[in-house]
Structure 1
Amino acid sequence: MDTHASAAAAADTGIRIRPLGGFIGAELGGLDLRRPLSDAQFKVVHDALVTYEVILMRDQDITVEQQMAFGARFGDLSIHPFSPNLADKPEVIILDYSEANPPALTDIWHSDETFREAPPLGTILRAKVVPDAGGDTLFASMTAAYRGLSERMKQHIHGLEALHDFKPWRPLFGPKDRGRLRELEDEFPNPWHPVVRLHPVSGRRVLNVNRQFCVRIKDLKADESEALLEFLYRQATVPEYQLRVSWRPHTVVMWDNRAVQHYAAHDYFPARRTMERVTVKGDKPVGVTGAYTAEPPGGLGRVKPAVPAGTRPGPKRAFDRY
């Protein structure tokens, strides 16, 4: 992506882009999501999402209908099969937690809904009620996580596939719910996704395994699969690859689910935290085909790879941010 052209287009629309982290995240100013985006504005927002992977927009006092309209610019909205939705707008997920209503599941680093054959393109989260302290959301760039691997490890995981499953919700189905569970298993048969996917817009390589939904890697023994996945999970959550968002009322955040994992910190009880979320349908992940070749460099700036905790650092080596 031509970042100089993107910067010029942003200036022409009045949109201000402020990078937030060395690998991931940007805050967009000069936007009013109460009004439909022009085609020029949408292109700037779309390009910023692909480039920075997480975009943050403050002071957006919008309705849920306006949030849905913003999401619909990127594609059709999806309905989550497990999360509580608005009765008259099933595309909207309600996340309303407090001491009286804690989340049923402890959060785990993940990309959204990779148990689907075609996981979401992106997710848009809007803050309605936020605690005075805590309740942040952490994001991690899977582009950076992949780039931080050694060339030998990149070769090792090239062409591998991992099985994904809606395993976090399985314990919620009791003996009387087995019929419904079988229906969901038929609706969401376990997909095999590439361990390294190609981003469909940028063409960048992205680490595509997450602790919440991955089960095992194809053609490896159980202990081999477990060891490799555990290493990749650690690589996915290196602090240097992260962005931490502190919420304020009327903050809107969108992330590129094809390139990002996230984690919601449940550290605010007994306070209340209420969010509304819409999700944009995506496409089936595609991996790199053929024999392994090194990824061409390119992108914004140069940074150095971080090393997951508990691993032995190799020689320091600069690599392109994207």
Structure 2
Amino acid sequence: MIIPNFDDVRAAHARIGPYIHHTPILTSSYLDSLSGAKLFFKCENLQKAGAFKVRGACNAVFGLSDNDAKAGVATHSSGNHALSLSYAAGRRGIPVTVVMPHTAPDAKKAAVRGYGGRIVECEPSTSSREAVFARVVAETGAEFVHPYNDHRVIAGQATCAKELIEEIGALDAVIAPIGGGGMISGCCLTLSTLAPHVKIYAGEPENADDAHRSLKAGHIIADDAPQTVADGLKVPLKDLTWHFVSRHVEDILTVSEEEIIAAMRLAWQRLKIVLEASSAVALAAVLKHRETFADQKVGIIVTGGNVDLDKLPWLAGCNNQRSVGT
């Protein structure tokens, strides 16, 4: 297991600069009053490919030697990492294959193909996509870029918190959604170096709370196919992300499906930005656990904005929402 350090983050930021956006940070006096805290929203929903995942994907792809890049790259993903890796590979001009659950929205599959990605479908479970992916790698010889359990990916994701802390300065806490833990690990990597006093929290759906249970138990607990509107948070922690989560995360705060949808809609109304259900989990956690964040300056990572606009959860019911994240 290779554990990235902050020198890797600095190198990643320089490497990926030409291929990403330096995303804006938004505030809302209304959401401040509602939460009892001063909130700073780092808007990765406005990132290239619509999600923070492009940071780690670009760092991995553009960090490959020419020889290693020849066979292309491959991954398994429910959506945002698939989009991001396809974007990065397309910019470098190398082939990319992604294993995606057949339940992924058609719009997301179309976007992957639009970036030049080849899709191999699997069942909507961790075990199925990892098994199908193993066959893909054996057939193609492509370089595996894991959606989150990869030191190159984590170093890339860490550049998000780096931008946040360099722009805002002193914060009391930072919170991001957690699924496999790539973004949270990046936050841990950056903040433990640049701002070790900042408390790091994660938000997680009650219906997919394996990271919450893992932190309480002191070891990884993995669910195979949890059901939640926050589709991007259905994957389990792995050894590398657990390294960061177990050492640096203050707490993992869970929220209900109804709270996720309410926070998603509230952000659309008040911030005037599109964010997916997985991204809304962090705001939902702040609003639910007001006492934890009262009178503090809190950075909230808005992780993505890839949403099927024809199946918004407050219109069609949460079972029809398929925002993508990992």
Shorter-chain TM-score above 0.5:
no
Normalised TM-score (structure 1): 0.28
Structure with greater proportional helix content: 2
More relative contact order, 1 or 2 (CA 8 Å, 6+ apart):
1
Normalised TM-score (structure 2): 0.27
Structure with greater proportional strand content: 1
> Which has more radius of gyration?
1
